[in-house]
Amino acid sequence: MSISIEELNNILEKAENAFLTIGKFSIQKRVSLMRTIAEEIEALGPELIQAAKRESNLPEGRLTGEKARTVFQWRSYADALENGSPLDASIDTANSERTPPKPDIRKTHVALGPVAVFGASNFPFAFSTAGGDTASAIAAGCPVVLKAHPGHPETSLIMAGAILTAVAKSGFPEGTFSHVELGSIEDAQYLVSHPVIKAVGFTGSNRAGIALVEVAAKRKEPIPVFAEMGSINPVFLFSGKLNASASEVAAQYVGSLTLGVGQFCTNPGLIIARDSPALSIFTQTLEDEIAKVVPASMLNPGIAKAYSGNREKLVSQSGVAVLAAVEEVEEGQGGATVAIVSGSEFLTNDALQEEVFGPFALIVKCKNEDEIFAVTSKLHGQLTATLLATVDDVAGNQDLIEVIQSKCGRIIFNNFPTGVEVCKSMHHGGPFPSSSNSQFTSVGSDAIKRFVRPLSFQNWPDEFLPEELKNANPLNIWRTVDNVLTKEAV
């Protein structure tokens, strides 16, 4: 049930108080809270999967996997915190003999303050209530005010219950995590504009993400909004690869395009290739493979309606032809569709870069290498870009690859973008408009860095320094001491 602004104000006051209390806790206590949250989520019974299945239409197998991923996120971010990675502690020792004398300077990273998190509809566990944004903010030491996604309210409440149980068991204050249902866009924007909130984590549409960025920028004290938004994730088909295995590549591509009814921000929705006989073999196999796709229900009727509306809008653009489509779909389902357009049309029409969230792809057929280069240069920022190529294709297209790299946050060689590994080296975030800040990831333990800020201590007595900066290195973490990475004491 939606809460009133008065109730929201009370929750924000509790979050502010919790922030001060958590700041006094040891890092190990925070690590322990995160591990307890992982245990509580792991222990949730079948009612979690059943609720999510009912509310999102996602199959049980997928939800079971997503639950395991969510638990893993909490555990791996806890491990990262225990290892000191998000603290990035560094020490430059004093030198009294230098002229002028050099002071002792030590740097760590501290929590920003309470964070508002807006979960996504397409990952009810891993990117929602107990998802990566919440886990990163808690790891950073920030209380979380979670705005529940209206697409899965019961699932959200069950997950919130697990977090709240762990908060109580671990001796963390009320206000460490709050679950709020808000009745209007105005209330959601009020949350972001509230002075207690110091950062925002968001996953969803461009429209909503940009609205929140604008609200945050207009505050008296502007705050960062880490919005992970839409992307069409271009796939580049290179001639060497196509000549060698056009049919095989087409079949693999359709598998990635239609996975989860295409409801991934990393869905490969754009193909860029040069016109050739091998491309005709690719498109022929693609038509055959699309014909075999069994339609399935989308997350909710709103997303299905948006899919069919956005798809119609795109295929009715000048020069666009439908190449393959699953027509026999029931209400609420998303029929896989692939359309095709020339490179010259693509260059003159920005609407062809609009995300159609679902199993939709547009092939841009270019007449030569120059046109591929021009089309690539015109692309908006992307979460990912994929090269289906041979090593010789890569060697022969270095200038093009340079441009592709400037457009994306993850560049993939002979693999597919759907499937975002949770690890330190993952970057899930790309140049605008795929995300609002291309410097930070929302997946992998580096996601914690979004919610901390550097703090330097100068000539500070050892006994009053935070644990991670003390001479003895009691946390046994990696630190940069006088420019050398070490676990040694100072």
- What would the x/- binding string for ligand NAP be over residues 390 to 429, using CB under 6 A? ----------------------------------------
* Shorter beta-carbon distance to ligand NAP: residue 230 or 269: 230
Binder to ligand NAP among 165, 189, 243, 245 (CB under 6 A)? 189
What's the burial of 138, exposed, middle or buried (CB within 10 Å: 0-12/13-18/19+)?
A: buried
- What would the x/- binding string for ligand NAP be over residues 78 to 117, using CB under 6 A? ----------------------------------------
Q: Is the distance from CB of 140 to CB of 157 less than 8 angstroms?
A: no
User: Can residue 30 be called a binding residue for ligand NAP (CB under 6 A)?
Assistant: no
Give the shortest CB-237-to-ligand NAP separation in angstroms. 24
The tally of CA atoms less than 13 A away on the side-chain side of residue 356 is 28
User: Can residue 256 be called a binding residue for ligand NAP (CB under 6 A)?
Assistant: no
- Catalytic residue positions? 228, 265
What's the burial of 461, exposed, middle or buried (CB within 10 Å: 0-12/13-18/19+)?
A: exposed
User: Can residue 212 be called a binding residue for ligand NAP (CB under 6 A)?
Assistant: yes
User: Can residue 121 be called a binding residue for ligand NAP (CB under 6 A)?
Assistant: yes
- C-alpha–C-alpha distance, residues 231 and 229, integer Å: 7
Instruction: Say which residues have a Cβ less than 8 Å from residue 95's Cβ, sequence separation at least 6.
Output: 101, 102
Q: Which helix (H) or strand (E) holds 272?
A: strand 270-274
Q: Is the peptide bond before 224 cis (omega within 30 degrees of 0)?
A: no
Binding positions for ligand NAP, 220-239, rule CB under 6 A: 228-230
Stretch touching ligand NAP by CB under 6 A, among 78-86, 185-193, 245-253, 408-416: 185-193
Give the shortest CB-269-to-ligand NAP separation in angstroms. 11
Binder to ligand NAP among 204, 268, 269, 444 (CB under 6 A)? 204
Count of residues in contact with ligand NAP, rule CB under 6 A:
24
- C-alpha–C-alpha distance, residues 332 and 303, integer Å: 8
What's the burial of 397, exposed, middle or buried (CB within 10 Å: 0-12/13-18/19+)?
A: buried
User: Can residue 360 be called a binding residue for ligand NAP (CB under 6 A)?
Assistant: no
- C-alpha–C-alpha distance, residues 91 and 201, integer Å: 31
* Shorter beta-carbon distance to ligand NAP: residue 121 or 178: 121
Give the shortest CB-120-to-ligand NAP separation in angstroms. 4
One-letter amino acid for residue 150 of the chain: P
Q: What is the CA radius of gyration of the chain?
A: 24
Q: Site residues (CB under 6 A) for ligand NAP?
A: 118, 120-122, 147, 149-150, 185, 188-189, 203-205, 208, 211-212, 228-230, 265, 303, 306, 355, 357
